[in-house]
Structure 1
Amino acid sequence: MIIAFETLGGSAERPNEDWVVAGPATVIVLDGVTAPRVVTPGCHHSVTWFTQNLGGRLLMLLAEDNDMGKALGDAIDQVADLHRDTCDLASPGIPAAAVAMLRKVGNDLEWLVLADTAIVLDTDDGLRVTSDNRVEQAAPDALARTRQEAIGTPEHQAAVARMSVEQLKKRNVSGGYWVAAADREAADNALTGRVPATQVRRVAIFTDGASRAVDTFGEMDWATCLDYLQEHGPRGLIQHVRRIEDGDPEGLKWPRFKKSDDATVAVIEI
């Protein structure tokens, strides 16, 4: 596999909470999840600490040819053990992450998606898009409210905080949505798939800050996005997303939670 990736923070004022790594036959992309400020954290570790530790363990576990779901569950357990004695892991405010992983095993490609990341495969039978938008169904009314206010206003900030609190009530529970945090059951609720590698030409993996070009701005469809990546690379796509965001800083044309989000793209040619 030929792999290229880029990650860029959404703001100079805060760290990039995305995390990406690639091995000869594996790509892992994580999108750190920050709890709203109105929620008691329960943990003194940062989101970047969590994504770095989770990602490193995932890379090692996948190299041992574990099942992808089992590898994610084991990695969640191992990171939880690092701060089980110092932090309240039952708190909804502990660090968490969305996950997207791709691995070549023998003659197959297998993948896993958990929370709001996306994997797009360009196959002989057309595009196969795997994305997990269950979080958007967790508090639809509160989500709609965030789209009625301009980014940066007190009203928008309050609406986003209310939405986040409502969504947290549905996090990692049956009928809600799932993220990697401290409960390995999240791994059992990931979206997974497998396809012969000979049927795949290229793959792209996105955090939601990068997939905005398609699913938020409607600037392009997935096929056009893959072509854009082939011509301009991951950095080019993220820069394109930033240009769109800069043209609509208040979210009046494209309502969203924040002007710019951490953005990561990985491109794999088979």
Structure 2
Amino acid sequence: MSIAFETQGGVAGRPNEDWVAATPDSLVVLDGVTPPRVTIRGCSHSVTWYTQNLGVRLLLLLQCEHDIGTALAKAIDQVNDLHRKCDLASSGTPAAAVAILRRRNELLEYLVLADTAIVIDAVTGIQVISDDRVERAAPEATARTRREEIGTPEHAEAVALMSVEQLARRNVTGGYWVASTDRAAADNAIRGEIPLTKVQRAAVFTDGASRVVDMFGEMDWQGCLDFLSEHGPRRLIAYVRELEECDPEGRRWPRFKRSDDATVALLSMWR
């Protein structure tokens, strides 16, 4: 199989908190979670620091660990060891959404945690693996962010409220899960496998890129995969940016961020 990917920051002058890397058999995509500004941060490390360190360790562990969930749990533990002097119980500790694809034996294994999506083009049709528990964590506050225009004080207030309410439901039973300091997040990921013989291609998206389908509705998943196969991940992100620039206030497509970090990876099977 072959893997092509692209990642780009969403705001000029700010670090890209997404992370992506691959080996011949594994692909890891991370979407860093920015803590609310009102949160007291007990950790001095940035979200970018976290995604880079978690990603490298996770990719290495996937090469030798039998179970992908165990690999994620061990990677979380290893990053914890890097900053034990920080308050790892603080709600402001860096975190990340996770997506993993791995070829192992005759199977394609997958894992999704929080704001990432994996789309598999199988012989039986399109299969979308996503995690909507974040959206369900604070539905009323999330809906409010979509009633206000981006750039207004009302929108900023709505986003702050949504972030605080979501944070209260993070990594708890009945809420949603992200990779941070609790290895139990790995046990709460959405995961599965599919025979390689049934896979034609697959793609992984952070929510800054998947919005071309699930927010903007400019193409369906089949069309998105076709676009990726023809034009590649970089062109897809460029198209997302064009759409965002056409609607900077979020009037046509209400959203809580004008533009977000975006990552796309395309896995193509060799026959």
Query: Structure 2-normalised TM-score?
Result: 0.98
Letter of the structure 2 residue corresponding to residue 170 of structure 1: R
Q: Report what 1:193 is aligned to.
A: 192
Q: Report what 2:216 is aligned to.
A: 217
Letter of the structure 2 residue corresponding to residue 76 of structure 1: I
Tell me how far 1:185 sits from its aligned partner.
0.4
**SS of corresponding position for 1:224:** helix
Distance, in Å, in 2 between the alignment partners of 1:50 and 1:140 is: 28
Q: Report what 2:5 is aligned to.
A: 5
Q: Report what 1:180 is aligned to.
A: 179
Tell me how far 1:66 sits from its aligned partner.
2.8
Encode CA deviations 1:166-197: one digit per residue, 9 max, x unaligned: 00010000000000000000000000011110
Encode CA deviations 1:190-232: one digit per residue, 9 max, x unaligned: 0001111011010000000000000110111111110111111
Distance, in Å, in 2 between the alignment partners of 1:256 and 1:241 is: 14
Letter of the structure 2 residue corresponding to residue 46 of structure 1: S
Distance, in Å, in 1 between the alignment partners of 2:41 and 2:114 is: 20
Q: Which runs of 4+ in 1 moved over 2 A?
A: none
**SS of corresponding position for 1:15:** coil
Distance, in Å, in 2 between the alignment partners of 1:20 and 1:214 is: 21
Q: Report what 1:51 is aligned to.
A: 51
Gaps of 5+ in 2: none
Tell me how far 1:87 sits from its aligned partner.
1.0
Distance, in Å, in 1 between the alignment partners of 2:13 and 2:91 is: 24
Letter of the structure 1 residue corresponding to residue 96 of structure 2: A
Distance, in Å, in 1 between the alignment partners of 2:237 and 2:7 is: 8
Encode CA deviations 1:104-126: one digit per residue, 9 max, x unaligned: 00111001000010000000110
Q: Report what 1:229 is aligned to.
A: 228
Q: Report what 2:162 is aligned to.
A: 163
Tell me how far 1:42 sits from its aligned partner.
1.2
Paired-residue identity, %: 67
1:114 lines up with 2:113 in the alignment: yes
How many residues are paired up?
Answer: 269
Tell me how far 1:65 sits from its aligned partner.
3.3
Distance, in Å, in 1 between the alignment partners of 2:222 and 2:91 is: 37
- The residue correspondences of 1:242-253 to structure 2 (distance < 5 A) are 242-253=241-252
Query: Structure 1-normalised TM-score?
Result: 0.99
